[in-house]
Structure 1
Amino acid sequence: PNYGTQYSSYNLARFSSVRNNYQPQQHYRQYSHLYSSYSEYRNSRTSLSRTRRTIRKTCPEGSEASHDTCVDIDECENRDICQHECKNTFGSYQCICPPGYQLMLNGKTCQDVDECLEQSVRCGPNRMCFNMRGSYQCIDTPCPPNYQRDPVSGFCLKNCPPNDLECALSPYALEYKLISLPFGIAANQDLIRLVAYTQDGVMHPRTTFLMVDEEQTAPFALRDENLKGVVYTTRPLREPETYRMRVRASSYSANGTIEYQTTFIVYIAVSAYP
């Protein structure tokens, strides 16, 4: 067989038409135009990408890029960022304290202002300045008949006339206790431990405690524990209110007779704020 002839014919049929109609300049212009369009498209995409990167880099602190612009970040959406109220500002935020509180150096937590101390409040005779969370109050702390106020401790101490048995059997001392609490204290939380002392200032070794005057709706109770009277909560403190209770401590001698009696008047103020 004549393979050479067939090969020549195949070459002629395969390439003759291309060679006869080939126009290099036309093809160059066509592909040159396409390349130019692609270059412009690529350059435009590159420019847009660089612009977006530039926006991300130049957005100030506290803002973020969104649709080629900078928008503020609302930090106050994080509820734990401030102890009390949070005020959003562009690029930042501000924590605000309730009346009677001041902002701490960390800019987030608030501290109660002790008006009794900082304002040197003078309530007058037989009254005491009670610093409460967010405010203060002057409360009456009178000494009963046959009592005198100790200038050092501020306690009301009994001063009975000679041979006055009724006076001698009355409580020996009267103490005022002031407690200021935040809103939301849980139930079964110890608040204060009351201690009865002898005339020598030593904790009496045989003392019992009894709550003798209390509002029936007050969320507090008393228990004896290691010669101390412990006042604790019976339910969560979720209402701003001031409570008053009276606790009597009876101290006994070794043979079971009463040696001393102390009355504690306890004020407990619950704040409207945590």
Structure 2
Amino acid sequence: MIPAIQHSVFLYLVLSCLYPSHAAQGCLNKQKVLTVIRQMQQFLKGQETHFTDGIRTMKAKLSALQISVTKLTADQPSATWCPLLEAPKHGQKFGSRYSADHEVHFVCQPGYQLIGSSTRVCQQNGRWSGVNASCTEWSDLSFSRKPHCAEVERTQHCSCDAGFHMSGSNENSVCQDVNECEVFQLEGIARLCMYNCINIPGSYRCTCPPAYKLLNDGRSCSDVDECATLQHNCTAGETCINTGGGFQCVNPQCPEPRGNISYVKTSPFQCERHPCPMNSKSCHHAAKTISFHYLSLPSKLKTPVTLFRMATAAAPGRPGPDNLRFGIIGKNNQGQFVVQRSDRQTGELILVQPLKGPCTVEVDVDMSEYRDRTFQSKHVSKVTLFISANGF
């Protein structure tokens, strides 16, 4: 029996013997009762001491924890922020984080040179590294420099920096800039830049048209995909189609009902004809499916080039067509496109004349299915070409 329970039992026995109604032969005598009372008093005093010690220990631990947390918070450095930096006039700034260890970069527009630091870092003291950046226009004086001359064996030898050539007499020689952009525009010489070349003192710089980015090779341009990077403004019911130098928002619609011919949109780019009445020949000869296709092409694309393929497939358990016929609907675009069969089940739409952009060209191609020389069904593909202003 544990001490607390044992003393409780003794206390119960003592109290029982104090009242006559509960007196019994087994009650303790007076001396034993007093002994038990003294033991209980000592037990309670010991419990009080242990409880007080526990409270004191708990208070000490809480105080130590409070001091530790306060010191840890004080030791942690507060976030460091640097002042706002503006983009230089005729230039751009890249980077919008102004806390410690973050970088901000500056570039100038074509025809301007950067003066100052192209990269600045926010330091722990709240100050930016480097110096302020500015963009100044190239001056004509920048394209001519004094040569480096040295006298060797009583003869003066002069040389120019890379990108410059010597001009003038030996006494009045000057280093003139080599215009790489003009040199490499000559016929038979590879172009330096895919889009535009800007001559700068001693070198050159390539630029790209709007909505294109300059690749790491410093000369090639790549279209920015506004659809993939969510830089478009198409609504929820529209689909974004990336084009060269931009994007298009499309939402093709099925033809309006005409007589007993009507369509239902089964996907964002396909419509299917409702079942036809048995005796309606015009309905059976109408397109069974109408699909919509969008292609982005560069300007003046080298031809001929295959743009689109149409194919047929038989439903499981049913015989497929044994003959396919392909054609272009209407006569507006027949001089620019042709349709030909590439194999037994496939037809191809081929561009045969270059298209100069920017423009949008639409062409409709139909595929008719026959079996045993009997017409089965027709499918129409509506192809839209977005021709960019650039040839890449």
Bin the TM-score by the shorter chain.
0.5 to 0.7
Deviation of the 1:259 alpha carbon: 3.3
**2:189 is the alignment partner of 1:74:** no
Pairing of 1:42-191 with structure 2 (within 5 A)? 46-49=153-156, 51-52=157-158, 55-56=159-160, 59=161, 61-67=162-168, 68-77=173-182, 78-79=184-185, 80-119=191-230, 121=232, 122-125=234-237, 127-144=238-255, 145=257, 146-151=262-267, 154-160=269-275, 165=280, 167-191=283-307
Q: Matches of 2:248 and 2:314 in 1, distance apart?
A: 31
Match of 1:210 in 2: 327
Q: Residue 328 of structure 2 contacts residue 334 of structure 2 at CA under 8 Å; is this kept in 1?
A: no
Out of 249, 253, 262, the residue aligned to residue 379 of structure 2 is: 262
Letter of the 1:76 counterpart: C
Deviation of the 1:236 alpha carbon: 3.0
Q: Residue 214 of structure 1 contacts residue 246 of structure 1 at CA under 8 Å; is this kept in 2?
A: no
Q: Residue 210 of structure 1 contacts residue 222 of structure 1 at CA under 8 Å; is this kept in 2?
A: yes
Identical-pair percentage:
26
Distance 1:47 1:194, change over 3 A: farther
TM-score, reference length from structure 2: 0.49
**2:383 is the alignment partner of 1:273:** no
- Find the residue that maps to 1:76 and give its secondary structure: helix
Out of 241, 246, 254, the residue aligned to residue 364 of structure 2 is: 246
Tell which has more relative contact order, 1 or 2 (C-alpha 8 A, sep 6+).
1
Match of 1:19 in 2: none
Distance 1:124 1:170, change over 3 A: farther
Q: Residue 128 of structure 1 contacts residue 141 of structure 1 at CA under 8 Å; is this kept in 2?
A: no
Distance 1:204 1:210, change over 3 A: same
Q: What CA deviation, in whole Å up to 9, does each residue of 1:88-124 have, x standing for no partner?
A: 1112211111122221221111122222222264344
Q: What CA deviation, in whole Å up to 9, does each residue of 1:131-185 have, x standing for no partner?
A: 221122223411235433334x742233437768465543221111212221222
Deviation of the 1:248 alpha carbon: 0.9
Distance 1:244 1:70, change over 3 A: same
- Find the residue that maps to 1:208 and give its secondary structure: strand
Paired residue total = 222
Letter of the 2:210 counterpart: P
- Find the residue that maps to 2:228 and give its secondary structure: helix
Q: Matches of 1:72 and 1:205 in 2, distance apart?
A: 70
RMSD of aligned Cα (Å): 3.2
Query: Which has the greater radius of gyration?
Result: 2
Pairing of 1:8-47 with structure 2 (within 5 A)? 46-47=153-154
Q: Which structure 2 segments of 5+ residues have no match?
A: 1-150, 186-190
Q: Matches of 2:178 and 2:321 in 1, distance apart?
A: 62
Letter of the 2:243 counterpart: M
TM-score, reference length from structure 1: 0.67
Match of 1:20 in 2: none
Q: Residue 340 of structure 2 contacts residue 347 of structure 2 at CA under 8 Å; is this kept in 1?
A: yes
Distance 1:197 1:130, change over 3 A: farther
Q: Matches of 1:119 and 1:205 in 2, distance apart?
A: 46
Q: Which structure 1 segments of 5+ residues have no match?
A: 1-43
Q: Matches of 1:229 and 1:183 in 2, distance apart?
A: 25
Q: Residue 174 of structure 1 contacts residue 265 of structure 1 at CA under 8 Å; is this kept in 2?
A: yes
